Structure 1
Amino acid sequence: MATVHREVPIDAGPEEVWAAIRDWGEVHHRLVPGYVVDTRVDGEARVVMFTEGTVLREVVVSLDDDARRIAYAVVDGSLDVVHHHASMQVFAEAGGRSRFVWIVDVLPHSLAEPIAAMVDEGIRVIQRTLEAAAARVS
């Protein structure tokens, strides 16, 4: 199984970062606007539509407000995945900043590179979006 692990500092408080990540049905507005064009909650799942046309159906595996961690799995979609499990977690850093950690485990191994590219782009948008939101508040 391939693992993609990324971390990025975010100039925003952990509560604000966590609130945006936790907002399961609003990822296209609060987390990655422009990268994800739409999100639709369908029962316990969400359907995420990316700019380049990828559509994924995801379900929450675990949601832990105390640890500021969400884990989710792709259960259907336009990527030919055998297994896709991801987690996002927010840690408090000095000076009111946050550290955002995103880990994705995926099979087959051949999807590691395209998934890593998606995570890299996503994390850049997340950082930019959350820092801009924090700047508007302060």
Structure 2
Amino acid sequence: MAPSNRNLALASKIATLRLKIAPIICVTSGVPHPAFPNTMLAFWLLTEAQLDTMARYYSQSTPSKYTFMYPRTMGWDKAFLAVSRKDQAADDDRHVLSAADRIAIKRRKFAKFIGMRGCETPEWETQAHIRILERRIIRSLEEEETDVKWI
């Protein structure tokens, strides 16, 4: 008996992963990015580096005159997506995006860009963004206080 006959849920998932994705053509070069996924499986296997290069390729990571020439934008926030330990207090890991969270956010933004449905921003992502911004404001105020003390 074929595996698809034994497990209908698995057969359905495999069929979904085989779905083709129409490529997005770059407005400056006229060709899709070499790493553009051609199936849903390839989409789910994209690496963070591939997502970053596609954001650059499609003029989404650094806004330019080409950014808004696409049907949708990625809303790529480089500061939020590139949070590093040096921006955070060493003992406060709650304000650092994990690699898995960063990839999930980048994948969601790319999916929205290529027209997939169900790409609304989840609450956890909004809360993470707020926490990181709050921490940056606090650190900035602390640095200003330190500077004022030296005057």
Q: Aligning the two structures, in what range does the TM-score lie when normalised by the shorter sequence? A: 0.3 to 0.5
TM-score (structure 1 length as normaliser):
0.32
- Structure with larger RCO (C-alpha < 8 A, sep 6+): 1
- Normalized per residue, the structure richer in helix is 2
Structure 2 length normalisation: TM-score?
A: 0.30
